[in-house]
Structure 1
Amino acid sequence: MDQYAAYAPWIMMVLNGFVAGFIASLLLGGRGGIIRDVFVGILGSFVGGALVQAGWLNLPYFTDSPWLHLIAISTIGALLIIVLARIIGR
């Protein structure tokens, strides 16, 4: 069982990316599928994390579940990526 423990962070990153990308696609509309949701969500987590590190994004911390906090940050980043992609695509 310990041989699979190294995959846990990757699995959580993909799950976080999927949830964040799915929420962002629901909020902004559009259909791209699971692969797009995961890709946009993972990129959104990097963008959201960079915004938090720069001090431009300051959310209240959800003490009940730190995972909800990560989902919120990733979703905000994913929303920004989708909006920027739509602006550039026009």
Structure 2
Amino acid sequence: MEAIISIVIQLVAGAVGGNGLGAAAKNLSLGTTGNTIAGAIGGVGGTWLAGLVPGLAGLLGGAGTGMDAGALVSQGVTGLVGGGILTAVAAAVKKATAK
């Protein structure tokens, strides 16, 4: 059950990050659906990558896993950032290949 809650937090935070980036930078928007999908994938991937960096999860306020508040906030933050980054990268690749 803990794993499911963690993944849902990462997916939602990533989707918020992707849509936030799309709203803030119109030239990097993939549309609402594209931003949501890329952001959700980036949210999970960003949290996974952050867990590979020694000490990063502790710096963000949690161990990166489990159900304590610090870990959940850490997963939310890394999901938000990861979602925004992957959305930006996907939009940049889409623009570059469209020319």
TM-score (norm 2): 0.56
Secondary structure (helix, strand or coil) at the match of 2:32 reads coil
Match for residue 65 of structure 1 among 43, 65, 69: 69
**Structure 2 match to 1:44:** 46
* Correspondence for 1:17: 10
Q: Percent identity?
A: 20
Q: Which moved more, 1:77-86 or 1:38-47?
A: 38-47
Task: Assess if the C-alpha contact under 8 Å between 2:14 and 2:43 holds in 1.
Answer: yes
CA deviations on 1:12-32 (whole Å, 9 max, x unpaired) are 243123321232133113411
* Greater RCO (CA < 8 Å, at least 6 residues apart): 2
Q: Deviations over 1:47-84 (max 9, x none)?
A: 4434xx0778985427x821112100111111111111
The one-letter code sitting in structure 2 at the alignment partner of 1:45 is T
Residues matched between the structures, number: 79
Name the CA shift for 1:65/1:56 in 2 (closer, same or farther; >3 Å). Answer: closer
Contact 2:44 2:79 in 1 (8 A): yes
d(CA) in 2 for partners of 1:83, 1:76: 11
CA 1:80–1:12 in 2, change beyond 3 Å: closer, same or farther? same
* C-alpha distance in structure 1 between counterparts of 2:46 and 2:73, whole Å: 15
